[in-house]
Structure formats: structure tokens, C-alpha cells
Amino acid sequence: MKPGTTVTMEPPKVRAPNIRDVARLAGVSYQTVSRVLNNAESIKPSTKQRVLEVIEQIGYRPNQAARALVTSKSRTIGVLTSQTAHYGPTTSLHAIEDAAREAGYLITTTSLSTSDQGSITEGLEHLMAQAIEGLVVIAPQVRVFDAFRQLALTIPLVTLDSTGQDAPRSLSVDQIAGARMATNHLIELGHEDIVHVAGPRDWIEAEARMRGFLDAINAADLRTHRPVLGDWTADFGYHVGTELLDFRDFTAVFAGNDQMALGLLHAFRNAGLDVPGDISVVGFDDIPEARHFFPPLTTVRQDFAELGRRSIALLVGEIEGEEDLDHAQILPELIVRESTARARR
């Protein structure tokens, strides 16, 4: 070695503790540790407690793949989703991941490139190859459910966002009730000419919210304006807002989501109109930014996180034989802010 040469020593690699380390420190066999990890009923409480204390002390984390080989259970739940870019599905997915982790399950997610039968089958086969024990489907479009009806699944399944689809084992927010809340709020404020800017055709939520709007309008015996089909974006809301102002035969707008409502607010303000003095606006979803719109937006709040958490609770219950799920709906909540006011006569 030349004089002045600096030698850099790499620190020794620290081996992660394994099941045999736990067994040695707890004074039991590694088979006993395995039975503790799998909640076997034959283990003495004192032995179980000793093993769990050692696991906690040395920070042992079971290898999921190895456990799957021994137990024939992967403790993995698949999520098949056709949309993750929108606020609702993304929020539900995050809650699903957190809830599954707390329940001791892994999550593997596949996003569909399209909603046709081939893409759904390919996505499902990808998940099944990972030995998933249950499946959550976040499917906001009608054709996704049509495709799923043709598949014979042998694992527990929970679907989200399936209002009106009569799908077995499904969870949803009652979109129809939420749309009625929004429309009735405007009617109670004295608005008799209300326009609905709806979501895209084939979207389950868009269809349900349109139905709730029309139900409320018909129940109040008001003039029906033909709903405008949109695309969920603020750009569309702005575009249709400028076109609606060519007619001005309305005093309020119920937008199918908060992003389109944001575009409407922009269009009305650019035209020199006051919201809610001249036109009241209601949205749907209660995205985090809705309270900071100008003016803050009256909207319908959906608890997407609760939807995700509940889907995992029900799915895990079915996987472990504790609960039999059919169909359940979560009621939304009307959030009244400054974008709505009494109609001017």
C-alpha cells in the first residue's frame, strides 16, 4: 500500500432477525413461532406472550412470501381500478391501503388502461397470478360492471361506486340522495329555474346525480332544463358557463362535481356576475379546495376515505369467515357555504 493512501472500510452488514432468532431467544421451536404468527389456538397464552415480546424486542418482521408458502395464504388483496386520477377514487385507494395494512394484509393495485372486457380480464389475471385472497373493484363506469358480470370469480369481491347497479357485495355513497339534497337546497332558497351540468355519459355517479336532480325538480313541479353532459373538468365548466350566459334563463346551477363548479364560478365572474347574488352554484364531492373557491362552494360531501376503510373491513371479514356482505350505502352530507343564496325576484 502506498504511503498516504486512505483506506475506506465498509461497515459490516447487519442481518435482519429471522424466525429462528425469535425461537432461540424465546426458548421455543421455530414451528411454535410460526404457529403464534398464524394465531393457532393450540399455543399456551404464556408461550404466545413470550414469543410476541421477543418479536417486539428484536424487531422481527415475518416474510410475507415465506408465510404464504407455509400457510397457502398470501394475505394479499387486489385492487382493480379504472380511474385513479380523480379525487374520489384516489382518496378511497389511499384509505384501502392504510386499512389493509392495519389488518395485516398487503395491497396490490392494477389500473385498467381501458374499460373493455379484454383489459378487465387481463388486469384480473395479473392480480390472480399474485394469489390475491380478495378483490376490491373501484369502477365508476357502467361498462366495467357489465364486463364483470361475465366473469366467474371464486374469491371474495367488494365493488365501490356502484350506485344503482345492484351489484352483489357492493359499497357506495348514495349519489341519488346527494343530488336531491343539492337540488332541494336550491329549491328551498326560492330558485325555480335550475340547470344541471352533469358528468360524462356511462359514468355511474353522473347518471345517479342526474336522476336525483330530476327527481327533486319533478317533485317540486318546476320547469325542467335539459341537463348538460360534461367531462368532470374545470375547463368544461368554464366553457359551458360562458355558453349558458347567452340565455340567462336560470338563477342557479347544480354542477355534477366541484371541478366543473369551479369553471362555472370563473365564467360567471368574468362576465361581471355576482355569485351568489345573481346566480347560485352547488357542486358535488367537497374536494379539499372547495372551501377556498371564490366564493367558497356549497357542495355535497362524500366520505371517500370511509368508503375505502369499510370496504376492507367487510372484505377481510368475508375472507376470514366473519361477515357476509351484501350491499351497503353511505349517506352523503350537504355542506352549505357562500356560493348559494336566496333567489332574487
**E strand or H helix that includes residue 259:** helix 258-270
pLDDT of residue 6 exceeding 60, the answer is no
What is the dihedral sign for C-alpha 228, 232, 237, 238? Answer: negative
Range in 116-120, 197-201, 332-336 the model is least confident about:
116-120
Average pLDDT over residues 263-276: 97
pLDDT at 228 over 70: yes
**Most confidently modeled range among 129-143, 169-183, 268-282:** 268-282
Query: Over the stretch 21-44, which tens digit does the pLDDT of each residue have?
Result: 888 899 988 778 877 876 667 788
212, pLDDT greater than 80: yes
Q: What is the mean pLDDT of residues 252-257?
A: 97
Instruction: Specify the pTM.
Output: 0.72
Which segment of 110-124, 186-200, 298-312 scores lowest on mean pLDDT?
A: 110-124
Question: 299 versus 94: which is more confidently predicted?
Answer: 299
- The C-alpha atoms of residue 54 and residue 4 are separated, in whole angstroms, by 47
Q: Answer yes or no: is pLDDT of 177 > 90.
A: yes
More confident call, 89 vs 107: 107
More confident residue, 334 or 148: 334
Between 99-113, 139-153, 227-241, 328-342, the lowest mean confidence (pLDDT) is in: 139-153
Q: What is the pLDDT of residues 120-161, one digit of tens each?
A: 777 777 887 778 888 888 876 666 666 666 666 678 878 886
**pLDDT at residue 3 greater than cutoff 50:** yes
The cell numbers describing 14, all together, are: 447487519
Q: In sequence order, what E strands does 186-264 have?
A: 194-198, 228-229, 252-255
Residue 248 — left, alpha, or beta (φ > 0 → left; ψ -120 to 50 → alpha)?
left
Q: How confident is the model at residue 69 (pLDDT cuts 50, 70, 90)?
A: very low
pLDDT at 201: 83
Q: What pLDDT, in 10s, does the model give residues 313-327? A: 888 887 777 655 555
Q: What is the mean pLDDT of residues 107-111?
A: 85
- 204-219 helix and 175-188 helix, angle to the nearest 10 degrees: 40
Does the structure show a pLDDT above 80 at 219?
A: yes
Mean pLDDT of 75-79: 87
pLDDT at 312 over 60: yes
Say which amino acid occupies 68: A
d(Cα 344, Cα 21) in Å, to the nearest integer? 77
Q: Looking up cell 348514495, which residue turns up?
A: 174
